[in-house]
Structure 1
Amino acid sequence: MSAKKNRFALPCLCPGKKTGSMLLLCLLTQGQALAGGGEESIFLDDMPVILSASRLSQPINEAPVAVTIIDRQMIKDSGAWDLSEVFRLVPGMYVAYHADPYFSADSTVAYHGMVTTTTSDRMQVLIDGRSVYSSLFGGVNWSDLPIVLEDIERIEVIRGPDSASYGANSYSGVINIITRHPVETQGQMLSLTAGTGRKEAIFRYGGKNGDLSYRITGSLRDDIGEDSRIKNATSQFTFWNLNKYDNKTIQNLNLRADYQLTAADALEFQFGYNGGPREVGEYGNVSAISRRAENHFEMLHWRRALEAGGELSVQLFHTVERVYAKLKDSDGVSDGDAILRRYDIEVQHTFTPFKNARLVWGGSVRYDQTYAPYYLGVGNNQYLYGDFPYHLRRFFGNLEWRARPDLIFNVGGMIENNTYTGTDTTPRVAVNWHVLPGHTLRFSHSRATRSPSVYEKVYDTYWRSAGFYPGLPEMQTERVKSSDIGYMGKYAGLDIDFRLFYDDYSQLIDVRNKRSAASGNLNAGTAIMRGYELQLKTQLGDKTKLIYGLSGGGVKSDNANGVIYSDSLPKYSQSLMLSHRFNEQWNGSLVMYQVARTKFNATDYNPNENRGYYVDANRRLDGKLSYQFKVGGKQAECSLIAQNLADARYFEYRHDNELPGRRVRLNFRLDM
């Protein structure tokens, strides 16, 4: 979706050398000339429209935050196997393959290294606006999501705090995964994949009956995970030679139905199921003798179109994450069952309060129940076998005001009350100035919070008051003050998105370090992060496209209680995707990822066993080649995908988390 074509051209007529002062004069004089009037589309030529940044549909250069769009073609060209891998294309995003060895053996996806944990608990993740942020440890279990890559229309990644729109836990960023409308997936589709340790079958059927359109997708995936032994071990001790138990079988079933009730009213229903046996654990520690995931959700979303582009909507959803597990640890065999339930209702209203302005406002109520005796066991406490409840109430709003054709203000915020930490307010103010057609500056400042997970709150409430560390202050929310300056520009076929950011973190929570508990302050962590991000997109001729991302910066911290935040933002990370259409049948792509050396809390520094302070820099190259043809008049495609082409063996996140070697797979797809 894009705006009208630009009908005006305003070249710079300033004579003389292109010095910095002359360029600034050109920008100012032309900006003032444009401020007097002209059509709005003069500033919005070919700009994609996003839906997630402020809960208003906006051209990307008028959003109050930086946003990366990963569209369906990018997902396809990337050759990604897991959903988590797609986010390697986002500037500033850190992704580690299957980094969690304890609860889910799942990947880490975290925006900026300083706040990286195996559970990625400082970033909100939504699917069609439905939060999939897990209550037990926070973050997302990516393999347990009832979704397949084939059903994703696009992903909007908000690069920076956005608690003003989505509340606590939108602390470092937000990912909103938007699925395809059933109207776009009519007919049948079969996809079969086989390769090195990986197999998958997907079948999708889309139909339509009058004003009702629907889609059903089922899939079965087998993944043997990491290599059983670490090739470049840092120590000869057995623990550091063996990789994690992470084989998995994933069964997915997803239904989406959209019914146009009237010309103004639409009703959407979604159901999803994800299940199957999973391995989890590491040598010498907790491992699952048997573990099975059983997750499902139901969502109902009603929308009514109002005058002047307004809308009223009500969304309800219910989610259950269930784990059946027998765990083997130092105490023998334990019951590792866990059940996480969520009930949520949200109302949202968009309208025009006055000329040149739009307002979205609304509220939501959520109730979570968490049952996980093994992970939350508190001795003889009465809560040992009970559900841990969590209540959340929110009120939000965002006003967009076009003061002039070239000047847009966004002012908004969230008031939130929860069971654990009480009431918080997270405001945001941003201004976007279209200096010239195709060139926009953004200035923004916001506040954001992260509420404790159930695990953190139980540790604080019960373990610290049970005789170990009595009489200590209660845990508070994590806080961040974030400021950024952004620039978006179009130069012929080149799109540029550049951002400078400054984040001031305080009250950072750590419950895993004994020194944090003994100090009496689990919110002792503070850090200052400064950095930059760059996105480039360009067409190199009619058949070749290049997408490049670069980010870097640094962190300053007093590293309270020995929790290391310094050096935990890579000095640089970059990705490059080059895709080329050779002819009507053949397509190819190459993707490169590179990350500088980085320090994480889990790095496990030990000079005597060759485990350094840093996880070393790494580089990876993936490739894909596709051939399109007809089978019985139906469209078909065969693709050869190779990940880690150079068979690089390096560590991500920890020195016992070695990336798998070269993985090659063949995919056949038929649209029937």
Structure 2
Amino acid sequence: MFFGPSSPRPLLLLTALLGGPAAADDLFVDSQALPEVLTATRLKQSPAAVPGSMTVLDSELIRASGARDIPELLRLVPGMMVGYIAGNQPTVNYHGSNVNDARRMQVLIDGRSVYRAGLATVDWSDIPLAMEDIERIEVFRGPNTVSYGANALMAVVNILTRNPADSHGTRLKVTRGQRGINDWYASQGMGWDGGDLRLSLSGMQDDGFDETHKGLDYRDSRRLTRFSLSASHALAPDQSLDWQLSAKEGANQRPYTYKPVFYGVTAEGDNSDVAAKDYAGSVRWNIDFNPQHSLYVQGSAQHWDRQQVWRACDAALSFSPQLTQLWQLNPWYAEQLARNIRAPVPTGTAQEQALAGEVQAQWNVGGYQQVCGDIDQSTRETRYDLEIQDTLSLTDNLRLLSGVNYRYDRADSQTYFNGSLDDTTWRLFGQLEWRADEHWLIQGGAMYEDAHLSGSSLTPRVAVNYLITPRHGLRAVYSEAVRSPDMFENNVNWSYRVNNLSPTAFGQGSAEYFVKTRGPGNLDQERMRSRELGYNGFFADADLTLDLKLFHDEITGMVSEPLRNNQYIASNSNQARFTGSEVQADWRMTHADRLRMTYAYVDAWASNADDRRLSARNSGSAGWMRDWGMGWSSALFYYGADALNGYRFERADLRVAKRISLQRASLELAGMLQQRLDHEPTSSYDNLYDSRHVLYFSAELEF
């Protein structure tokens, strides 16, 4: 609404916000209950009292978006940069980072981390959770090592599933559409005296991108099937037990990208597809001693299994012991020799030149012969996690949260670690909230973490919130955060053993490829210092929620080198800086209309150009959801980013749905159209579609 120069309302609003408590109370107070979020500090808080910026994607918004997976849904979060390595390899970063490696954001499912410590990644396509089982997603937009430990460097995404008590009955859904879209979901919920349970089965399938920039078919389809079992038991009036089991199996295509080192050799492989299996289980015991004191104990176990075996061909000389020794002496010299094997021996030390002469002699007596074999690039990771958290209200104005966490991680890969590697982590954390008076809220927290492989760290956060009213707050936040180098970056022992060589190489049917990479073993943690000013408020009369943020984040000691087996030398020599602003608005105009808008301006600088590639200076979203009555509803969304890895992204999504009431059942029919408004690839020059639009339909039955 526009206010003219003579309107007194801006003056009234300004007076209320800048120091007129009585006026503020008159303007903003309402009788509605305060909403609460949990992810920011682990304490239940109103959005205005949070020491940072929060985005909540509720169930209505999730359904209206029509998103088939979590990365597409996160486009609704201001400052979240969504890119794709391939159709089944989405990457999500907050404010940006390396386009190929989303290493700096913690992702949780009901408080259980799905961030893989072995390879510093989140397998977004393989998360064993159906969209239909999600109740809401809380995103803390900023560093939160204080609450969730190392790796919560830039943001935390906490995916909260539906309570089994709210999932009674049967629910069936199928989705079909272009680009090979073929999804299904089935769930059954039931309850008994003192308990509730939900069982769900689901599947997802699509073809990914259509072609590469050379017009070739792109191998990036995905297929997966998921199982989930969730239950809640009331053990006593003050105690409950919640547990979950989940599993996922599927296959992700991978394009064949191996290029022989020696010229004149042809590649015979056709794919390096990945068979993926995930298993997870968790149990949580909740105790409410009294309204002022509660405690929980949570344990979880997870296992990730990625089977990847592919065939490669190269010259027999690739398995020369002398060439291997030369690589260990000087990788650059060995690579120059291998790629120019017919040229004179490169200038080097006496030892290097002597070995080079032997290698060339081997080439001349048959080392040029092509040999092919199988490469096993499989990985397995296992995690066990135990956490105890205590929440205590010391007085009416003082709350203390404290806890301890133990985690064991194991990574197993013959290729990456020459066997297995273990790590153990201990954490102590605390959060103190003091309401100095009805307006001032002082918050402080810290996390002490000690990991066997990466050492110890202490990260603090201090925040001051001025609550104009319980629903309107200004905030100033300073926080520090760290990211521990993962096992791959710091401790990689990367070498390929090629099996079933045909013909044999140097008389061997199984041999080691000459290229070998070792991690430094002494990397330090990345460290972030963050400063934020912001405002969060809810205008009851207009039913409008508004969040504003100004930020300045600095990261030092960054590990930015690409993870590849070719002269890979990780270091802490890089740094980055992100400065900008964000706005988020959610307005229920009428009982039938809801408008939502986000915008982020990010001025990114990084010493390594790769860390700027997924940072759009301007990005955002806009959405209009409407209930037309008679069971009809629609949602229209726009997503835009001016440069993701150098490519513009603009898309409009339209979802139209009709809900039909049946006898003791409900049927919803929906159609979804996604229309690209640009002519660019999707964050990588090989990510191309034949058509700028995709159409898919769904039918969902509940009874």
CA–CA separation in structure 1 for the residues paired with 2:224 and 2:647:
32
CA–CA separation in structure 1 for the residues paired with 2:56 and 2:187:
25
- 1:193 aligns with 175
Determine whether 1:652 maps to 2:682: yes
CA–CA separation in structure 2 for the residues paired with 1:318 and 1:269:
12
3-state DSSP of counterpart to 1:226:
coil
Q: Does the CA contact (< 8 Å) of 2:118 and 2:410 recur in 1? A: no
Following superposition, the deviation at residue 494 of structure 1 comes to 2.3
Determine whether 1:629 maps to 2:660: yes
Following superposition, the deviation at residue 137 of structure 1 comes to 1.9
Q: Could you give the per-residue CA deviations for residues 20-40 of structure 1, whole angstroms, max 9, x where no partner exists?
A: 9x9766544424898xxx99x
Following superposition, the deviation at residue 566 of structure 1 comes to 5.2
CA–CA separation in structure 2 for the residues paired with 1:484 and 1:583:
42
CA–CA separation in structure 1 for the residues paired with 2:566 and 2:579:
25
Q: 1:583 aligns with which of 606, 629, 642?
A: 629
Determine whether 1:509 maps to 2:559: yes
- 2:162 aligns with 180
CA–CA separation in structure 2 for the residues paired with 1:495 and 1:570:
25
507-516 vs 407-416, which deviates more? 507-516
Q: Does the CA contact (< 8 Å) of 1:591 and 1:623 recur in 2? A: yes
Counterparts of residues 259-338 of structure 1 (less than 5 Å): 259-283=233-257, 288-330=271-313, 332-338=373-379
Higher RCO (C-alpha 8 Å, min separation 6): 2
Determine whether 1:63 maps to 2:50: yes
Following superposition, the deviation at residue 654 of structure 1 comes to 2.1
- 1:448 aligns with 481
- The count of corresponding residues between Structure 1 and Structure 2 is 609
Determine whether 1:534 maps to 2:574: no
CA–CA separation in structure 2 for the residues paired with 1:112 and 1:488:
20
Q: Could you give the per-residue CA deviations for residues 113-135 of structure 1, whole angstroms, max 9, x where no partner exists?
A: 2x244341100000000000012
Letter aligned with residue 129 of structure 1:
G
Determine whether 1:411 maps to 2:444: yes
Q: Could you give the per-residue CA deviations for residues 156-182 of structure 1, whole angstroms, max 9, x where no partner exists?
A: 000000000001000000000000110
Q: Does the CA contact (< 8 Å) of 2:98 and 2:610 recur in 1? A: no
Following superposition, the deviation at residue 152 of structure 1 comes to 0.5
3-state DSSP of counterpart to 1:280:
coil
CA–CA separation in structure 2 for the residues paired with 1:330 and 1:342:
36
- 2:117 aligns with 135
Q: TM-score, normalised by structure 2?
A: 0.81
CA–CA separation in structure 2 for the residues paired with 1:440 and 1:549:
19
Q: 1:224 aligns with which of 204, 207, 216?
A: 207
Given the superposition, is the C-alpha separation of residues 474 and 624 from structure 1 closer, same or farther in structure 2, using an over 3 Å criterion? same
Given the superposition, is the C-alpha separation of residues 176 and 29 from structure 1 closer, same or farther in structure 2, using an over 3 Å criterion? closer
3-state DSSP of counterpart to 1:225:
coil
Counterparts of residues 227-246 of structure 1 (less than 5 Å): 227=210, 229-230=211-212, 233=213, 238=214, 241-242=215-216, 244-246=218-220
3-state DSSP of counterpart to 2:236:
coil
Letter aligned with residue 220 of structure 1:
G
Q: Does the CA contact (< 8 Å) of 1:317 and 1:343 recur in 2? A: yes
Which structure would you say has the larger Rg?
A: 2
Given the superposition, is the C-alpha separation of residues 418 and 580 from structure 1 closer, same or farther in structure 2, using an over 3 Å criterion? same
Letter aligned with residue 579 of structure 2:
R
- 1:49 aligns with 36
Letter aligned with residue 220 of structure 2:
D
Given the superposition, is the C-alpha separation of residues 516 and 494 from structure 1 closer, same or farther in structure 2, using an over 3 Å criterion? farther
Q: 1:482 aligns with which of 530, 536, 542?
A: 530
3-state DSSP of counterpart to 1:368:
strand
Q: Could you give the per-residue CA deviations for residues 517-573 of structure 1, whole angstroms, max 9, x where no partner exists?
A: 79x87111112210111001112222111110000121234x2xx544457531110
Letter aligned with residue 352 of structure 1:
S
Letter aligned with residue 550 of structure 2:
L
Given the superposition, is the C-alpha separation of residues 176 and 330 from structure 1 closer, same or farther in structure 2, using an over 3 Å criterion? farther
- 2:382 aligns with 341
CA–CA separation in structure 2 for the residues paired with 1:216 and 1:471:
43
Q: Does the CA contact (< 8 Å) of 1:288 and 1:326 recur in 2? A: no
Determine whether 1:366 maps to 2:366: no
Given the superposition, is the C-alpha separation of residues 300 and 44 from structure 1 closer, same or farther in structure 2, using an over 3 Å criterion? farther
Given the superposition, is the C-alpha separation of residues 143 and 516 from structure 1 closer, same or farther in structure 2, using an over 3 Å criterion? closer
Q: Could you give the per-residue CA deviations for residues 622-669 of structure 1, whole angstroms, max 9, x where no partner exists?
A: 1100001133431111001112x2475422332222367422111111
Percent identity, aligned pairs only, is 28
Following superposition, the deviation at residue 309 of structure 1 comes to 3.5
Letter aligned with residue 550 of structure 1:
Y
Q: Could you give the per-residue CA deviations for residues 449-487 of structure 1, whole angstroms, max 9, x where no partner exists?
A: 111122101249999xx9999997821111100010011
Counterparts of residues 8-157 of structure 1 (less than 5 Å): 27-31=17-21, 42=29, 47-97=34-84, 99-100=85-86, 105-113=88-96, 115-157=97-139
CA–CA separation in structure 1 for the residues paired with 2:391 and 2:224:
39
242-251 vs 352-361, which deviates more? 242-251
3-state DSSP of counterpart to 1:596:
strand
CA–CA separation in structure 2 for the residues paired with 1:470 and 1:325:
21
- Structure 1 unaligned blocks of 5 or more: 1-14, 378-383, 601-614
CA–CA separation in structure 2 for the residues paired with 1:298 and 1:470:
34
Q: 1:352 aligns with which of 387, 393, 397?
A: 393
- 1:608 aligns with none
Q: Does the CA contact (< 8 Å) of 1:461 and 1:474 recur in 2? A: no
Given the superposition, is the C-alpha separation of residues 585 and 23 from structure 1 closer, same or farther in structure 2, using an over 3 Å criterion? closer
- 1:396 aligns with 429
Q: TM-score, normalised by structure 1?
A: 0.85
- 2:370 aligns with none
- Structure 2 unaligned blocks of 5 or more: 1-5, 260-268, 315-372, 497-513
Q: Could you give the per-residue CA deviations for residues 288-318 of structure 1, whole angstroms, max 9, x where no partner exists?
A: 4553111111111100012233211000000
Following superposition, the deviation at residue 146 of structure 1 comes to 1.1
- 1:574 aligns with 620
3-state DSSP of counterpart to 2:89:
coil
Given the superposition, is the C-alpha separation of residues 531 and 588 from structure 1 closer, same or farther in structure 2, using an over 3 Å criterion? same
3-state DSSP of counterpart to 1:404:
coil
Given the superposition, is the C-alpha separation of residues 287 and 273 from structure 1 closer, same or farther in structure 2, using an over 3 Å criterion? farther
- 2:351 aligns with none
CA–CA separation in structure 1 for the residues paired with 2:610 and 2:577:
13
3-state DSSP of counterpart to 2:394:
coil
Given the superposition, is the C-alpha separation of residues 174 and 26 from structure 1 closer, same or farther in structure 2, using an over 3 Å criterion? closer
Letter aligned with residue 312 of structure 1:
L
- 1:258 aligns with 232
Q: Does the CA contact (< 8 Å) of 2:532 and 2:549 recur in 1? A: yes
Determine whether 1:668 maps to 2:661: no
